[in-house]
Structure 1
Amino acid sequence: MKIENQEKFTDEQQKEIKEMIQKFYLRSILALSGMIVFVILLVISSFIEIEQIIMIVTEIALGITILVSLIMAVIVFLRLKKYVKNIK
């Protein structure tokens, strides 16, 4: 991964930005896979007519997963925003 305007960042800042981006990608993939699993469980539970409690728990878990992924995206955006200010 290449960061544009590298000369405006110290080596430590470049390393920190790359680590944050890699962590963000990893967390995004984990959150996406979690959402896919919960959607599959939701579809299966609607066909098999499992108890209502399992469906409610699945929907709550899906909501929490989406909320956590949004919060992580905002945190990473705010962290990267301070480096973007250094470019301008």
Structure 2
Amino acid sequence: MVCALGIEGSANKIGIGIIRDGKVLANVRRTYITPPGEGFLPKETAKHHREAILGLVKSCLKEAQLKHSDLDVICYTKGPGMAPPLAVFILIWSL
């Protein structure tokens, strides 16, 4: 059995999911919402993702009833997308 955690956050939404042998065990996400009439900017979007990512990973693991040691692989969006939000993944996994 292969268990994978996947992260997608190339724009204003960050989503984290866990699948095992093709079955979705968890799928959590958070969207960065700007004031009406304003678009989302890469720097602010990256800040949102940095503040959300660890909590989302914890929520995802809890929903899937798994520990991080149960994961076989971590997948993430490398691109295309906005560079600052994508760089969040590199920062988090280097800790």
TM-score, scaled relative to structure 2: 0.30
**Which has a greater percent of helix?**
1
Structure ID, larger Rg: 1
**Which has a greater percent of strand?**
2
TM-score, scaled relative to structure 1: 0.31
